[in-house]
Amino acid sequence: ETGVTQSPTHLIKTRGQQVTLRCSSQSGHNTVSWYQQALGQGPQFIFQYYREEENGRGNFPPRFSGLQFPNYSSELNVNALELDDSALYLCASSLGQGRGTEAFFGQGTRLTVV
Amino acid sequence: GQQLNQSPQSMFIQEGEDVSMNCTSSSIFNTWLWYKQDPGEGPVLLIALYKAGELTSNGRLTAQFGTTRKDSFLNISASIPSDVGIYFCAGRSYSGTYKYIFGTGTRLKVLA
């Protein structure tokens, strides 16, 4: 049990729709990162939020966006869903970014786009 | 996207046997981590390594940070059925922000 919770656990959407995924970080953790994990692959970095600001982004298009709130919880929004967006979306929280601040992952949200 | 190379891709072993897997990168990392992921769950941190050459243990698990800083190794001794799962290595890189680059995973199945 990492203390990182994500909702919903499963979701089915239609191509072209928009989706919002939510993450509650571990108590006291001020940094939240989002990863996409396609079936049979390792997680891929989407972006990171630190103290409510985006401070790093992977190779994902602008239709992937996010927010971090004052309580450090976070949202991942995906617009204009495509079939290839079907994946497990993982949220990870950490306290800062130095040594000893490794990220702890939630259980993920399984998104299926049909 | 970039992924690290892990080998073997999958392995079947007998309960009680030792297991070795490794992870290689074309880039240098300052931190290596090993995670285990069970079906339908998020990755769980097993071991973190911070210094080239470092050897760290966590119970039956031992991991090493390669001296070139481009590789890492994980050993599991006396495997048990609950070791089943997918093991991922990850390197932590910095390019304006810290992010993890994950490996392709090693799927482990333990035969009782």
User: Model confidence over B24-67: pLDDT tens digits?
Assistant: 999 899 899 999 999 889 999 999 999 999 999 999 999 999 99
Is A42 in contact with B104 (Cβ distance < 8 A)? Answer: yes
d(CA A101, nearest CA chain B) in Å? 10
pLDDT at A101: 76
d(CA A22, nearest CA chain B) in Å? 15
Q: Are strands B85-94 and B106-111 parallel, antiparallel or unpaired?
A: antiparallel
> Which pLDDT band holds residue B110 (cuts at 50, 70, 90)?
confident
In angstroms, the CA A105 to CA A107 distance is 7
Higher-confidence position of A101 and B12: B12
Pick out chain A residues at pLDDT < 70. 1-2, 97-100
Confirm or reject contact between B23 and chain A (CB < 8 A). no
**Burial class, A110, CB count within 10 angstroms (exposed 0-12 / middle 13-18 / buried 19+):** middle
B44 contact residues in A (CB cutoff 8 A): 2, 105
For residue A61, say if its preceding peptide bond is cis, omega within 30 degrees of 0.
no
pLDDT at B2: 76
Position of tokens 């919880």? Answer: A73
B 43-102 residues with CB below 8 A of A? 43-45, 48, 50, 88, 90, 95-102
For residue B8, say if its preceding peptide bond is cis, omega within 30 degrees of 0.
yes
pLDDT in tens, B57-109: 999 999 999 999 999 999 999 999 999 999 999 998 776 677 899 999 999 99
Confirm or reject contact between B38 and chain A (CB < 8 A). no
Backbone angles phi, psi at B83, to 5 degrees: -75, -10
> Which pLDDT band holds residue B10 (cuts at 50, 70, 90)?
very high
pLDDT at B44: 95
Nearest residue of A to residue B97 by CA position? Answer: A56
pLDDT at A99: 65
pLDDT at A98: 66
Q: How many CB atoms lie within 10 A of CB B50?
A: 14
Give the one of B3, B42, B104 whose C-beta lies nearest to A106's C-beta. Answer: B42
Position of tokens 């470092």? Answer: B54
B10-14, B66-70, B108-112: segment of lowest average pLDDT? B108-112
Nearest residue of B to residue A47 by CA position? Answer: B99
Is B41 in contact with A108 (Cβ distance < 8 A)? Answer: yes
In angstroms, the CA B95 to CA A76 distance is 22
pLDDT at A2: 64
In angstroms, the CA A93 to CA A26 distance is 6
Higher-confidence position of B20 and B92: B20
